[in-house]
Amino acid sequence: GDSVTQMEGPVTLSEEAFLTINCTYTATGYPSLFWYVQYPGEGLQLLLKATKADDKGSNKGFEATYRKETTSFHLEKGSVQVSDSAVYFCALSGKNTGNQFYFGTGTSLTVIP
Amino acid sequence: GAVVSQHPSRVICKSGTSVKIECRSLDFQATTMFWYRQFPKKSLMLMATSNEGSKATYEQGVEKDKFLINHASLTLSTLTVTSAHPEDSSFYICSAPAVATDTQYFGPGTRLTVL
């Protein structure tokens, strides 16, 4: 079945460091891919998404490219800030899943000054 | 953008009581809503799919009589945790798909603590 495998954390980085959080997926058909972010004590917020191969989603300095050949959707940011500290979830959804979302286990990021 | 609200944001109740959590889509209609449960430091677990005008679809292992779901209108779904016990303490999150897209909008979550 459809699934998402996400890099385990926790990840601790210094401010202005480069961030990569790996995400790979298994799916039938061509799902849409998402990154959601959850700040402490809050619900999930959509960070970015890509709906087809080679699409790049971007928001707030974060980027992820839908790579069909490697079934990946790695999240990157060139220079993290303390305010980026949160839990990041990779997810997929699509017509083949009936709009049901499949989430990765989440990666906790802590950015220290 | 589309907004989904949940009420209450936090609730503390005694063991044996029932708790109702509301999920509303504020500026769009949702024939389907999803209910998730999130355990500490874990991912979201889909509990059930709420369908407007019909019965909810529950995931394997989720007790239908324990977690009652009612999708009363195109903008409201409710989750009632019946006869709550301490092990039901968790973070409950709902989501609704935006019309004509595959993007889900998530509510802010409800923190349930059962004493």
What secondary structure letter does DSSP report for A41? T
pLDDT greater than 90 at residue B94: yes
B102 vs B92 pLDDT, higher one: B92
| SS3 at position A83 | helix
Using a CB-CB cut-off of 8 Å, the residues of chain A touching B103 are: 32, 34, 46, 49
State which residues of chain A have pLDDT below 70: 95-99
Quote the CA–CA distance of A33 and A51 in Å, as a whole number.
Answer: 6
Structure tokens at A70: 């490697």
| SS3 at position B2 | coil
Structure tokens at B53: 């005008």
pLDDT band at B18 (very low <50, low <70, confident <90, very high): very high
pLDDT on residue A2: 82
pLDDT on residue B101: 65
Structure tokens at A107: 């990666």
Please count the residues of chain B. 115
pLDDT on residue B100: 65
pLDDT on residue A102: 86
Query: What mean pLDDT, rounded, does chain B reach?
Result: 90
Partner residue opposite B104 with nearest CB, options A95, A101, A108: A101
Phi, psi of A97, rounded to the nearest 5 degrees:
-100, 5
On whether any CB of chain B is under 8 Å from the CB of A100, the answer is: yes
Partner residue opposite A89 with nearest CB, options B41, B43, B95: B43
B105 vs B99 pLDDT, higher one: B105
On whether any CB of chain B is under 8 Å from the CB of A12, the answer is: no
CB contact under 8 A, A99 and B107: no
pLDDT on residue A98: 66
pLDDT on residue B98: 74
pLDDT on residue B72: 86
Chain A, nearest residue to B10 by Cα = A41
